[in-house]
Structure 1
Amino acid sequence: MVDIATRVWNHKWKIDPIVRSLIDTDFYKLLMCQSIFRNHPETTVTFSLINRTKSVPLAKLIDEGELREQLDHIRSLSLRRGESTWMRGNTFYGKRQMFTPEFMDWFENLRLPAYELERRGDQYELTFEGPWPEVMLWEIPALAVLMELRGRAVLREMRRFELQVLYARAMTKLWEKIERLRVLEGLRIADFGTRRRHSFLWQDWAVQAMTEGLGEAFIGTSNCLIAKNRDLEAIGTNAHELPMVYAALAETDAALARAPYDVLADWHEEHEGNLRIILPDTYGTDGFLENAPDWLAGWTGIRIDSGDPYDGAETAIRWWEDRGEDPRQKLVIFSDGLDAEKIIDLHTRFSGRTRVSFGWGTLLTNDFRGLAPDDALAPFSLVCKAVAANGRPTVKLSDNPRKAMGPKDEIARYKRVFDVGAQEAVEVVV
């Protein structure tokens, strides 16, 4: 096991590139990439970094030269032989050869495309533009780089014993959470914390702690490199990116209304079982479920990623019941703003009524709240989203208006098309 504090002190992270592999990314990104490679290889998409927490001045904390060095390193990466063998030969979600030979041939020759970086006041403007299958793979590593460089800026000011105590306290904090969770009967939980992790080494430590502390209740990690190295299940399905881009490509309001279902129709052709998970909140969960085609009720489950998770799960249960499905056989995955207390409460409320699972993100892999002076290592809300497709702006409404994004006139249009009424604003934790 790596002594993280000593590594930080001795080398100031110089021997540790932040992103060390093309598969140091979330599994859902690779699944979506293959679907996009098959269905929309020529679509041009623009991704952009968005710091929702304006109080964190990234451009003041992070040296531009150091940021460029890390981004340029990512552009030098290519798929290694062992990584290719793992993707081609491993069983994912019970299926061998999840990734087609055509996709793997393309992926093995991929280098990530160029980026554009400018300083705007106290923030950085970081954008990526190009073919959708290539550009989309920047999202996770770009977030990991910015999150970790901010952490390194703080750690650089600490002395050796300060670092030892910091990591000892962080380890104790996480282990105490694990001890609270391990008593839950039937718990199913995965690591979803790559995008806003403290560091790669810390995420790897957290995964090892979860593996030892929770045993079979820990079902895997979204991080492909860690899954490969630790012989764990790679976990993930699909994300908001798909309906956002499909919707932006729609020529008419009618096509726009169909876009979220067109996404899942394409997904239905490629995947089955536990990969058939609905993410309904991109343009409002209530409207999505009300207008959903009957065949979607037969899917395995739903992921709840915004809004009130209790309301979201109750809505899903009622929807399945109205469609003649047994909610006890369905899977509800909670993945928004989770920490131990909320996990315990949701598990207690919904176990037995449905199959409950958790994708634990930032507060698993980056909970240094209260451990550094001025709380300088507290996680913050940073995203990298598709903002345009073939020159048209994308829109996300979410079940939480504080997560909405897009031009105001387009947001208004989408709310009209998807019949989104008043929404309750919920604090965005991370």
Structure 2
Amino acid sequence: MVDIATRVYNHKWKIDPIVRSLIDTDFYKLLMCQSVFRNKPDTRVTFSLINRSKDVRLAELVDEGELREQLDHIRSLSLSRGESTWMRGNTFYGKRQMFTPEFMDWFEALRLPPYHLEVRDGQYELTFEGAWPEVMLWEIPALAVLMELRSRAVLAGMGRFELQVLYARAMTKLWEKIGRLRTLPNLKIADFGTRRRHSFLWQDWCVQAMEEGLGNAFVGTSNCLIAMRREVEAIGTNAHELPMVYSALAQTDEELLAAPYKVLSDWQDEHDGNLRIILPDTYGTQGFLQRAPDWLVGWTGIRIDSGDPATGAETAIRWWQERGEDPKQKLVIFSDGLDVAKIEELHAQFSGRVKVSFGWGTLLTNDFRGLVPNEGLAPFSLVCKAVAADGRPTVKLSDNPNKAMGPGLEVARYKRVFEVGHQNAMEVLV
């Protein structure tokens, strides 16, 4: 097992680059990339970094030269033969050859496109523009780089013993969480923590700890590189990016209202089983389900990713019941801002009523709260989102208005079209 504290003390990024591979990313990005490659390959998209935690002034913590070195390193990466063999030959979600030969030929030749970096008011403005299938693959590595560079900046002044104690305390903290989770019957939980992890080495350690501590209750990791190396399942389906871009491309209000369902129709053409998971909250869960076509009710389950998670699950249960489906046969995946107490609460509330699973993210792979002065390693809310498609702005409304994004006039239009009324704002922790 890697001695993380010693590795950090001796950090040289050319030995430990933050992003080691093009598959050091979340599995859902690769699934979505193939879908985009098939359906919208010529769409031009802009992605932009958005720091929701304005008090964390990244440009004052992270050296610009070091950030550029890391980003340039990512642009030099390409798939190795072993990575390509794993993607082409492995079984994912019970399906062999998940990735088509045409997509793999394209991916094997890919180098990520250029980036644009500026500093403004203590923050980095980092943007990526180009063909959607290429640009979308910047999201996860860009977030991972900035999160780890921030960690490295805080750790840089620590001595060898201080680092040993810090990581020992963090390991103890996680192991105590695992001990609590171990008591939950029929638990199913996965690592969703790539994008805002403390570091690659730490995420890898967390996955190993979960695997040993939880056994079969640990169902896999979203990180493809770790999944390949540790021989665990790669976990993930789809994200808000797809409906946000499809909606931005809509020419009329009618096309806009239909866009989220067009996304899932295209997805259904490629995937079945546990990959048919609905993410309903991009423009409001309640309205999405009310307007949903009948074919969608037959999907395997739903992922709850904003708003009050219990409310979202109850809404889904009522929808299935109203459409003549048995909720006990449906899967509900909770994935928003989870930590052990919330997992315990949701597990108790919904076990036996639906099939319950958890995607545990930032507070699995980056919970150093209380371990350094002034909470210098506390996780913060950093995202990288598609902000424009073919020159038209994207919009996200969410079930939590604090997660909404887009120009004011467009947000108002989307609220009108999707009939989104009053929403309860919730604090965005991570």
Is TM > 0.5 for Structure 1 vs Structure 2?
A: yes
Is 1:331–2:326 an aligned residue pair? no
User: Could you say which residue in structure 2 is the equivalent of 1:198?
Assistant: 198
Preserved CA contact (<8 Å) 1:197 1:365 = yes
Large movers: runs of 4+ above 6 Å = none
How far residue 52 of structure 1 moved from its aligned partner, in angstroms, is 0.3
**Residue 418 of structure 2 aligns with which residue?**
418
Task: Give the corresponding residue for 1:156.
Answer: 156
Alpha-carbon offset, residue 11 of structure 1 = 2.8
Match of 2:120 in 1: 120
- Which position in structure 1 is the counterpart of 2:8? 8
Aligned equivalents of 2:150, 2:347: Cα separation in 1: 34
State the one-letter code of the partner of 1:216. Answer: N
Determine the structure 1 residue equivalent to 2:99: 99
Alignment match, 2:209: 209
The 2-side partners of 1:352 and 1:374 are apart by 42
Judge conservation of contact 1:329–1:354 (CA < 8 Å) in 2: yes
Counterpart of 2:337 in structure 1: which amino acid? G
Residue in structure 1 matched with residue 268 of structure 2 by the alignment: 268
Q: Deviations over 1:118-143 (max 9, x none)?
A: 01120000000000000000000000
2:10 is paired with a residue whose SS is helix
Q: Deviations over 1:64-101 (max 9, x none)?
A: 00000000000000000000000000000000000000
Three-state SS of the structure 1 residue aligned to 2:380 is: coil
Q: Which residue of 1 aligns with 2:167?
A: 167
Matched, 1:52 2:52: yes
Give the partner amino acid of 1:239: A
The alpha carbon displacement at 1:116 in A equals 0.1
- Are 1:345 and 2:345 matched, yes or no? yes
1:320 matched to which residue of 2?
A: 320
Structure 1: how far apart are the matches of 2:377 and 2:13? 16
Q: Which amino acid aligns with 1:283?
A: Y
| Paired residues for 1:394-409 under 5 Å | 394-409=394-409
Residue 110, structure 1, aligned to residue 110, structure 2: yes
* Separation in 2, partners of 1:41, 1:14: 34
Cα distance in 2, alignment partners of residues 280 and 338 from structure 1: 18
Shift in Å, 1:172:
0.2
What SS does the aligned partner of 1:387 have?
strand
Residues 16-415 of structure 1 aligned to structure 2 (within 5 Å): 16-415=16-415
Report the CA distance between 1:416 and its aligned residue: 0.2
Query: Conserved in 2, the CA contact under 8 Å of 1:12 and 1:156?
Result: no
- The one-letter amino acid of 1:301's match is G
Provide the rounded CA distance (Å) in 1 between the counterparts of 2:364 and 2:133. 29
Question: In 1, Cα distance between the equivalents of 2:296 and 2:256?
Answer: 18
Distance (Å, rounded) in 2 between the aligned partners of 1:100 and 1:10: 42
Deviation larger for 69-78 or 13-22: 13-22
SS at match of 2:257: helix
Q: Mark the runs of 5 or more structure 2 residues left unpaired by the alignment.
A: none
Give the C-alpha shift of residue 15 in structure 1: 1.7
Structure 1, gaps ≥5 residues long: none
Structure 1 contact 247–259 (Cα < 8 Å) conserved: yes
Q: d(CA) in 2 for partners of 1:118 and 1:295? A: 46
Contact 1:7 1:13 in 2 (8 A): no
User: Alpha-carbon deviations, 1:311-337, whole Å to 9, x = none?
Assistant: 000000000000000000000000000
Offset of 1:12 from its aligned partner? 5.0
Please list the CA deviations of residues 242-269 of structure 1 after superposition, one character each: whole Å capped at 9, or x if unmatched: 0000000000000000000000000010
CA distance in 2, matches of 1:279, 1:67: 33
User: With structure 1 as the length reference, what TM-score do the two structures score?
Assistant: 1.00
**Per-residue deviation, 1:425:** 0.3
SS in structure 2 at match of 1:98: coil
- How many angstroms apart in 2 are the aligned matches of 1:39 and 1:14? 38
Instruction: Give secondary structure in 1 for the equivalent of 2:359.
Output: strand
CA distance in 2, matches of 1:211, 1:334: 20
Output the TM-score relative to the length of structure 2. Answer: 1.00
Asked if the contact 1:196/1:362 (under 8 Å) is kept, the reply is yes
CA distance in 1, matches of 2:370, 2:273: 41
Q: Deviations over 1:126-172 (max 9, x none)?
A: 00000000000000000000000000000001111110010000000
Helix, strand or coil for the counterpart of 1:11?
Answer: coil
Q: Show CA shifts across 1:182-212 (max 9, x none).
A: 0100000000000000000000000000000
**AA of the residue aligned to 1:240:** H
Deviations along 1:272-293, whole A, 9 cap, x unmatched? 0000000000000000000000
One-letter amino acid of the structure 1 residue matched with residue 232 of structure 2: L
Q: Is residue 179–residue 213 contact of structure 1 (8 Å, CA) maintained in 2?
A: yes
